[in-house]
């Protein structure tokens, strides 16, 4: 099949009209960061901040016009609202109503970062904190699957409304463009999508925002950590030496930008046989703990390798919500307590009640 070209896409976009001026959106400077790769097309549509609602049909028309071209496999247009030139620039600061932002990071993919982030969020909520969740893993969003969320988020034209997942307000790029859409985005598109998900979402009041970062220590992670005042970072690692080396990279990245490391979680730490209860150290268990001690950062706890953790995540009800009080939920609950310990600002005000 013929491959779609940049020129063909630009020609198609000349047929999509800006309702404000009656002129093609491409002439109005609304099209930026156009990417055409292997039949996958995407661009960012920048619209005035107060007109977001009015432009939703235009965004859709642009997506449809691209999709109608021969050779197009996918089409995604992401709308971002920019402020007037004259209006004061929005500083890259905290998020109104959110007291502490905690990033969950890993040196590489597949170590269980997203699973840990989701269960940590649920465990913090179970410990009485108001928690919101941002899935910033732009290349592999997993919050919709982990939390069983479907459908696009609602919008009032200016703000996106997060979806409630077991009491936790959640936003994910996967909700905006579908999990199966290939990501053909370039750095700047990712940047503006992330900014929008952070700052143009009606998060409400929260004690803690958990941000599930993309794996690794690339530019996206770096700029997010630079532009957002993080209360701290949690590093997820498996016990294998290799990923520990990767975890070290993560630590260094946060240190470079002066983000406090709240600690390391060892995931897939050991295997408890469901039949006989025998505990097998599949990998060199304890590696993360030693490494944390060596690096002088807190060790936040260990999560076993357990089929129930995977099954419950795939079913949209992570283990902390599926089996509260169970030994696996308790493992995450311990991590949550350790995170709260490392996060002085998030401790509850008023007296601590101890029940003996």
> Interface with ligand ADP by CB under 6 A: which residues?
106, 109-115, 142, 215, 267-268, 303, 305-306, 309-310, 313
Q: Which is nearer to ligand ADP, 63 or 266 (CB)?
A: 266
- Least separation in angstroms between residue 285's CB and ligand ADP is 12
Q: Which is nearer to ligand ADP, 75 or 114 (CB)?
A: 114
Distances, alpha carbon 80 to alpha carbons 40, 85, 191, 205, in Å: 20, 15, 11, 23
Q: Which is nearer to ligand ADP, 297 or 303 (CB)?
A: 303
Q: Which is nearer to ligand ADP, 87 or 245 (CB)?
A: 245
Q: Which is nearer to ligand ADP, 169 or 309 (CB)?
A: 309
- Least separation in angstroms between residue 179's CB and ligand ADP is 12
Q: How far apart are CA 265 and CA 261, in angstroms?
A: 11
Which pair of tokens denotes residue 315? 């079913």
- Least separation in angstroms between residue 5's CB and ligand ADP is 34
Residue, CB closest to ligand ADP: 112
Q: Distance from first CA to last CA of the chain, Å, rounded?
A: 71
- Least separation in angstroms between residue 112's CB and ligand ADP is 3
Q: Which is nearer to ligand ADP, 110 or 204 (CB)?
A: 110
Q: Which is nearer to ligand ADP, 111 or 168 (CB)?
A: 111
- Least separation in angstroms between residue 234's CB and ligand ADP is 12
- Least separation in angstroms between residue 295's CB and ligand ADP is 20
- Least separation in angstroms between residue 110's CB and ligand ADP is 5
Q: Which is nearer to ligand ADP, 42 or 239 (CB)?
A: 239
328 neighbors 267 (Cβ within 8 angstroms)? no
- Least separation in angstroms between residue 331's CB and ligand ADP is 9
11 neighbors 45 (Cβ within 8 angstroms)? no
């Amino acid at each position: 099949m013929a491959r779609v070209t940049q020129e063909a896409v630009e020609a198609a976009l000349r047929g999509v009209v800006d309702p404000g001026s009656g002129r093609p959106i491409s002439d109005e400077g609304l099209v930026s960061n156009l990417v055409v790769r292997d039949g996958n097309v995407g661009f960012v549509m920048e619209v005035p901040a107060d007109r977001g609602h009015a432009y939703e049909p235009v965004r859709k028309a642009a997506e449809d016009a691209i999709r109608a071209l021969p050779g197009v496999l996918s089409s995604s247009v992401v709308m971002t609202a920019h402020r007037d030139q004259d209006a004061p620039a929005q500083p890259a600061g905290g998020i109104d109503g959110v007291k502490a932002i905690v990033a969950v990071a890993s040196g590489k993919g597949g170590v269980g970062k997203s699973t840990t982030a989701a269960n940590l969020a649920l465990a913090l909520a179970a410990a009485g904190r108001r928690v919101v969740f941002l899935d910033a893993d732009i290349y592999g969003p997993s919050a919709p699957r982990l939390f069983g969320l479907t459908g696009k988020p609602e919008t009032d034209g200016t703000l996106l409304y997060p979806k409630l997942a077991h009491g936790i307000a959640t936003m994910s790029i996967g909700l905006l463009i579908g999990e199966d859409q290939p990501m053909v985005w370039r750095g700047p598109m990712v940047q503006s999508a992330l900014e929008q998900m952070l700052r143009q979402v009606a998060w409400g009041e929260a004690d803690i925002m958990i941000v599930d970062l993309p794996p690794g220590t690339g530019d996206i992670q770096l700029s997010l950590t630079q532009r957002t005042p993080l209360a701290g970072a949690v590093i997820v690692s498996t016990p294998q030496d290799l990923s520990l080396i990767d975890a070290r990279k993560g630590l260094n990245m946060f240190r470079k930008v002066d983000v406090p490391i709240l600690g390391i979680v060892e995931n897939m730490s050991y295997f408890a046989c469901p039949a006989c209860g025998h505990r097998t150290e599949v990998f060199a268990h304890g590696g993360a703990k030693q490494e944390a001690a060596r690096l002088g950062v807190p060790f936040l706890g260990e999560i076993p390798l357990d089929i129930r953790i995977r099954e419950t995540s795939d079913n949209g009800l992570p283990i902390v919500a599926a089996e509260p009080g169970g030994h696996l939920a308790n493992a995450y609950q311990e991590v949550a307590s350790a995170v709260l310990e490392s996060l002085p600002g998030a401790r509850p005000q008023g007296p601590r009640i101890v029940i003996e």
